Structure 1
Amino acid sequence: MAAREDNVFIEGDNLEVLPTLEPGSVDLIYTDPPYNTGNDFAYADSFRSDGGGRASRHEAWVAMMRPRLVAMRDVLADTGALFISIDDNEAAYLRLLLDEVFGEANFLAQVVVNLNPKGRQLGGGFATSHEYLFAYARDAKQCVLDASSPDTVNADDFPLLTDDGRAFRHLPLRNTNKKFNPVTSPTLHFPVYGDPLTGAVATTCFDGAQEVWPVFGDGRPAVWRWSRPRIDERPDDLVCREINGRNGARVDVFQRDWLHRDGGRRKKLTTIWLSEEIGSTDTAVAELKGLIGHVFESPKPTGLVRRILATMPPDAVVLDPFAGSGTTGHAVALANAADAGTRRCISINSGEPTRPGSNAANAGFATVADITRARLAAVLERHGGS
């Protein structure tokens, strides 16, 4: 085991290492296990039981993964989450296995990750351009994961400007979801008062004001999104305007939704992540090559892991039980440098020999763990940390 204070790299079989970690001590797991493709990489990526055939290959892979997922679950905090990458070879089996180990109620998302925008051009059939990312909570009711990101906010969505240059947009103060109405939310159905000439809004009548009730576009009664006290607290964030509705001109109330607001703005993450947002296999290869050479065929881009890191608090303890080329540890260092976070990373990788003739073996890396160790050392030298 090589350790530098908070960030730890452990060489060994993760099935043996995981039980040595304190139960509930990890906030976030990201990992990229073998995909069982049968291809030759720097490491073994083919599992097969004695029966032979495709079914036996799946069975062997599931048998390998099940106890490791159980061990991962046990080290996760009740507030924590697991993200795990996979491709079409084992995606269906992994989903069922995760439901079994973590529980269907703790499923959070199945994300399509566009890591190869050009698609794989070798062989027949479709040019596959994506993989999958499964997200599960240890306990969905307690999980602190925030499925949003500041990086997905588009400034073009805020086309209006104040005199001092602050960008904003108008959102209806009325709740547009028809599940919320005077029957289901009676305390939010009340009149407000607004002057479309000055834009002023209040909960009590004033000179020049008109009474405004929340209504849907078809005229049916609706409710506001804000309570009376909140309207009284934030009148400057509201504006009264005359609009052309379905039944002619009417007065309505809108919220000024600011692009830059206190606490920062975040936008919910979609379940399709594009390579231009999080990087691609090509950019990941370039990242690794810039540190220790082209010694791993399909590393993950740090942008992918940094997006995952951004869903959890900046002091998270992060674990990668299949550390591979060391992308997770690299991403943690970059994230901490960017936001002054105090994330800590535990990386585990086996001492499995690299495949003879592979780029890694030719570069002098005897084991897969040697690759991980070399990258993490290079990251430490370049970006600092412990």
Structure 2
Amino acid sequence: MSANILDEISKILSGVEKYWINEKLAKQIIIEDLRNNDTKLISKLLANKSINETYVQDIDGYKVFDKEAFISLLRYKNYWQDSYTKYANKIGLTAEGKYLNYNSDVVLNFPFKDCVLEGGMTKEDSILKNDEKFYNEVIAKEEIDTLLAPKVFTNIKKYNIEGPHVVDNIDYKENLIIKGNNLLALHSLKEKYKDSIKLIYIDPPYNTNGDSFVYNDRFNHSTWLTFIKNRLELAKNFMSDEGIIMIQCDDNEQAYLKVLADEIFGRENFINNLAVIMNLKGNQDQFAFAGTHEYVLVYSKNKEKAEFYQLSLKNSEKLEQWNQDEIGFYKKGANLKATGVNAPRNKRPNLFYPIFLYEDGTISTTEKNGYKEKILPITNGQEMSWRWQKSTLERNIKDVIIVKTDDNVNLYKKQRPEVGDLPSHKPKTLMYKPAYSSGNGTNQIKNLFKEKKFNFAKPEELIKDFIEITTKEKDIVLDFFMGSATTQAVAHKMNRQYIGIEQMDYINAVSVPRLQKVIEGEQGGISKDVDWQGGGSFVYAELAKENQEIVDRIISSSTKEELSQQIDKLLNDGVLNYEVDFDKFTNTKKEFSELELEDQKEVLIRILDNNQLYVNYSDVEDSVYNFTEDEIAFNHSFYGGV
């Protein structure tokens, strides 16, 4: 496809005098003729292959020209070679193209809203000085299709109690961990797991300009919104009809994220914006106020079908109110003696009868030899009545609590939660437990590895509560900002199926080893709460690198000498950007050699085609990549190929 469709239009209409004024394309005249369905104009335009492929859809054998999209192309002036945007630099809340001060209906509009952000999410990407490339979804459709095509999985292992071993297939019910760019990985998973995820929990970079965060946490505001939008739109397709998504964030982007999520999931499917106390003492480094909390935005796929559950009180301070018998948990409820205006015996004579207490602590409405006491519903000398008829009492005889004092015996109903369940309560929108402390999450990793290997890990107790209120056993949990694998570790211990995606290299130093320790039965985090004894398995796979491997080597080069060793490999093995003038580059090596190291890295990365960072599944059997038979078989098993 031509990189600039306006050039194509100019060529097509070059001989039509009415569409030119002072040698410039008269766009408004073209738009008016399109509005009036000028057949000659439309025929000329649709005879062009690029325009036909981009703006014509085949619907049940009928060709439909997206005239409005084409008119939008003509109407707005700001074009890049691969993309365009309606606004060059203004971000705001808009409705129908007008900003908030013109209209009271609020939606989010920002540059690059109709684009896909190219590239990764790591801090090393700052080599490109955050000059990210945005592909417009209409103009650069072919580039986007190539970028987001399903990728090959390589370096595949299955981990269980016996350790890792090679596999050549995967079952749908397997737990799955993927190393690679999460947008590309999600596109590789979308057909297999469409409409099947019960909970998506993500803790994305907060866009704080913080230097201590391992992700690229210094996005331009519009870039961050596009980065998140691309992933949330895709995430929605994974959710089951009952599915829930929980997005953790802070104040830096919370307000815009809420409006963005409203657009994607629908305001009618908004559940709540939870405030989670992560630091009760408050962050003293923050300006003016010591921050104590973060936010968790909660949305459903379909609010009418959404399923939520109550929180268990196990190991909670409230549990001490409850006792346990062979049926389950209970606590003292109402006295069996009736109260109120209808309680006297003359009002309810059938409910006045004796209850017999025997030596073995049992009670009965039947008098037998050897009873110890006869209990009557008498209060302050006045004959009253019981709450239950005799037959009801006999049916529920095990649901009665007997309390003896020096001069009296009282009977109470056992108040129970649902049979077989622990006591539970509805979670509050302000969520706080001491165990939610962010320091607790960091310490859990430190205790596992005997050293501080990861900062800002979420505590297992917090993720446990999120999983408990949104899922049941065997449901699938997805986290595509996996980090240290807290979500996956907790899901594993709670008998949920899980999928985790992580691009950063610490996946093999922290995340996967952590899950190995879970399989081995480690007793940190929530292990004792859920009586975790170990076991289970997960499959690990990586997106097969193409240009990404060269990018990694370029980034890791610490001297110009090291970097120069990568140039020949880049030119010989790399897939180059079609915009690059190869001859010009090779003839200007002297100028290149005079650049600073970081500038050299930037130039080399730009030479590569970033659409080809990873190998597409369509090339899995190409011998040039040397995939093993097991890897080829695994990919066919995953994608349903031959």
Match of 1:184 in 2: none
Q: Is the 1:237–1:255 Cα contact (8 Å) retained in structure 2?
A: no
Describe the shift of the 1:234–1:350 C-alpha distance in structure 2 as closer, same or farther (beyond 3 A).
farther
Match of 1:155 in 2: 319
Q: Please report the TM-score for the alignment, with normalisation by the length of structure 2.
A: 0.42
Query: Of 178, 182, 194, which residue of structure 2 is paired with 1:23?
Result: 194
One-letter amino acid matched to 1:263: D
Query: Given the alignment of the two structures, is residue 8 of structure 1 paired with residue 8 of structure 2, yes or no?
Result: no
How far off its partner does 1:25 sit?
2.0
Match of 1:359 in 2: none
Q: Is the 1:318–1:346 Cα contact (8 Å) retained in structure 2?
A: yes
Per-residue CA distance 1:209-265 (angstroms, 9 max, x = gap): 97999xxxxxxxxxxxxxx9xx899766999xxxxxxxxxxxxxx964136843333
Match of 1:32 in 2: 203
Query: Of 448, 465, 471, which residue of structure 2 is paired with 1:307?
Result: 465
Match of 1:43 in 2: 215
* Runs of 5+ consecutive residues of structure 1 not aligned to the other structure: 49-56, 174-190, 199-206, 214-227, 240-253, 336-340, 352-365
Partner Cα separation in structure 2 for residue 83 and residue 368 of structure 1: 22
Match of 1:106 in 2: 269
Query: Of 302, 313, 316, which residue of structure 1 is paired with 2:475?
Result: 316
Match of 2:535 in 1: 384
Q: Is the 1:167–1:260 Cα contact (8 Å) retained in structure 2?
A: no
Q: Is the 2:481–2:502 Cα contact (8 Å) retained in structure 1?
A: yes
Identity %: 29
Q: Is the 1:18–1:75 Cα contact (8 Å) retained in structure 2?
A: no
Partner Cα separation in structure 2 for residue 17 and residue 171 of structure 1: 56
SS at match of 2:463: helix
Match of 2:443 in 1: 286
Partner Cα separation in structure 1 for residue 416 and residue 317 of structure 2: 12
Partner Cα separation in structure 2 for residue 141 and residue 193 of structure 1: 46
More helix by share: 2
Describe the shift of the 1:300–1:193 C-alpha distance in structure 2 as closer, same or farther (beyond 3 A).
farther
Equivalences for residues 230-245 of structure 1 within 5 A: none
Match of 2:500 in 1: 347
Partner Cα separation in structure 1 for residue 535 and residue 397 of structure 2: 45
Per-residue CA distance 1:190-226 (angstroms, 9 max, x = gap): x99755986xxxxxxxx9997999xxxxxxxxxxxxx
One-letter amino acid matched to 1:15: L
Describe the shift of the 1:194–1:66 C-alpha distance in structure 2 as closer, same or farther (beyond 3 A).
farther
Per-residue CA distance 1:9-54 (angstroms, 9 max, x = gap): 1112222222332211211111101111110122211111xxxxxx
Q: Is the 2:310–2:424 Cα contact (8 Å) retained in structure 1?
A: no
Describe the shift of the 1:87–1:307 C-alpha distance in structure 2 as closer, same or farther (beyond 3 A).
same
* Runs of 5+ consecutive residues of structure 2 not aligned to the other structure: 1-152, 159-169, 337-347, 356-375, 378-382, 401-411, 523-533, 538-642
Higher relative CO (CA 8 A, sep ≥ 6), structure 1 or 2? 1
Match of 1:170 in 2: 333
Q: Please report the TM-score for the alignment, with normalisation by the length of structure 1.
A: 0.67
Equivalences for residues 101-250 of structure 1 within 5 A: 101-151=264-314, 154-155=318-319, 157=321, 167-170=330-333, 194-195=351-352
Describe the shift of the 1:193–1:128 C-alpha distance in structure 2 as closer, same or farther (beyond 3 A).
farther
Query: Given the alignment of the two structures, is residue 84 of structure 1 paired with residue 241 of structure 2, yes or no?
Result: no
One-letter amino acid matched to 1:142: K
Per-residue CA distance 1:286-337 (angstroms, 9 max, x = gap): 11122344232211011111111112111111110111121111112232xx
One-letter amino acid matched to 2:464: R
Moved more, 105-114 or 31-40: 105-114
Match of 2:70 in 1: none
Describe the shift of the 1:256–1:167 C-alpha distance in structure 2 as closer, same or farther (beyond 3 A).
closer
Paired residues in the alignment total: 305
SS at match of 1:18: helix
How far off its partner does 1:87 sit?
0.9
Q: Is the 1:30–1:83 Cα contact (8 Å) retained in structure 2?
A: yes
Match of 1:186 in 2: none
One-letter amino acid matched to 1:376: L
Describe the shift of the 1:3–1:113 C-alpha distance in structure 2 as closer, same or farther (beyond 3 A).
farther
Partner Cα separation in structure 2 for residue 327 and residue 85 of structure 1: 14
